[in-house]
Amino acid sequence: MAFSSSEEVSIPPSTIATESTDYNRVEELKAFDDTKTGVKGLVDSGLKKIPKIFVRSLDQLNQKSKELDQTDIQIPVIDLQGEHQEVVDKIMSASQEWGFFQVVNHGVPLSVMDEMIKGVIRFNEHDDEVKKEYHSRDRSKKVYYNSNFDLYLSKAANWRDTLAINVLRSDPLNPEELPDACRDITIEYRKHVTLLGDFLFELLSEGLGLKPDHLKQLNCNESTIILSHYYPACPEPELTLGSTEHTDIVFLTILLQNDIGGLQVLHKDCWVDVHPIPGALVVNIGDLLQITSNDKLKSVEHRVVAKHAGPRISVGFFQTTRFDVEAEPNGPIKELISEDSSPVYGQFSNKQYIDYFFAHGFGAGKRGLDFFRL
């Protein structure tokens, strides 16, 4: 659904990007947040210029923008039904060189993937009053909807809205807590992708020279965070981003995206497009897995560019340990430490890690990886 508008629409002054000397960013942020309708609400209002809170400076937009000839370059694509040792080797190579790869023949039915995309669209294109019931900035909630978790921290807002769902294996979610528009498919999708995540952890454990269940024994898949992102068509995509460059703070991310595209991975200091492949899922290494592997696996920066076309839909399925309790200290796996491979990171709790992240937001401070590095 491309952005279009047949006429100019009057927008409240508090939501218009201006160059006046009395511009108050905090007031504009609050005015936007108080609508509880997100970026989708702005687009529905018919605006033809994006509000100033979304506009980025040229250095932010062009940061690390040296171009690669992308004719023959793309992140690795791995067939999970291939010969076992070959699959392990390919995943390790991709995780070390790219930190990203796409998987096919992964066991998640195409019909489930397609319906999950439709469910995200249904929720975001539902009546505003229904979405507002889920609007919150309280991240202790199991289910909430908002636009930009770091809205009041970031230098510029991202052109996207998000439905967040947090589930513990030991504390299953009550289905009634989920929006009706995507309830059944979210439950079904989570079931399939959880199994895929478990399998990927086994392959990664083997690749690290550990027993297949080693990573799972660390409870790196105890918590599931599902972030369903809705990126509306943008009238001025050259001025903003769909998502600021960042790394994922979890162990492992499995990403479903529709055919709009826009995801880019930083590789050799260049932004490389991750082209959607029908039926494929994108997998990337998170910060905690880089730390746990003592830098053998890489968590790399990625971003989403804004586009005239839309909506872009993505569903990030994040697997990680519990962040809500002071558990045993985290750090490199002791089996991966030796005289030739000293620890790269100190010990810390997962709660410390996520508290640091939410205190800084995307790109507003030092990466947690660097903060906890020895």
* DSSP symbol at 126: S
Residue 19 has pLDDT above 50, yes or no: no
Mean pLDDT of 169-188: 93
Enumerate the domain spans of the chain: 61-371
> Could you tell me if 120 and 181 are in contact, meaning their C-beta atoms sit under 8 angstroms apart?
no
Which pLDDT band, with edges at 50, 70 and 90, does 62 fall under?
low
> Could you tell me if 301 and 119 are in contact, meaning their C-beta atoms sit under 8 angstroms apart?
no
Percent of the chain past pLDDT 90, that is, above it, reads 71
Contacts of 245 (CB under 8 A, 6+ apart): 63, 64, 266, 301, 302, 303, 362, 363
> Could you tell me if 238 and 304 are in contact, meaning their C-beta atoms sit under 8 angstroms apart?
no
Cis omega (within 30 of 0) for bond into 311 = yes
Match 């995943």 to its residue by tokens.
91
Lowest mean pLDDT among 65-74, 115-124, 323-332: 65-74
**What number of helices (H) and strands (E) belong to the chain?**
11, 12
**Mean of pLDDT over the chain:** 88
- 321-346 pLDDT, tens digit per residue, is 876 666 566 789 999 998 888 899 88
- 132-177 pLDDT, tens digit per residue, is 999 999 988 999 999 999 999 888 999 999 999 999 988 888 999 9
Give me the pLDDT at residue 347, please: 82
Fold exhibited by the domain 61-371:
Jelly Rolls (2.60.120)
Which pLDDT band, with edges at 50, 70 and 90, does 10 fall under?
very low
Give me the pLDDT at residue 14, please: 37
Which pLDDT band, with edges at 50, 70 and 90, does 60 fall under?
low
Give me the pLDDT at residue 11, please: 33
Give me the pLDDT at residue 15, please: 38
Give me the pLDDT at residue 181, please: 97
Mean pLDDT of 268-280: 94
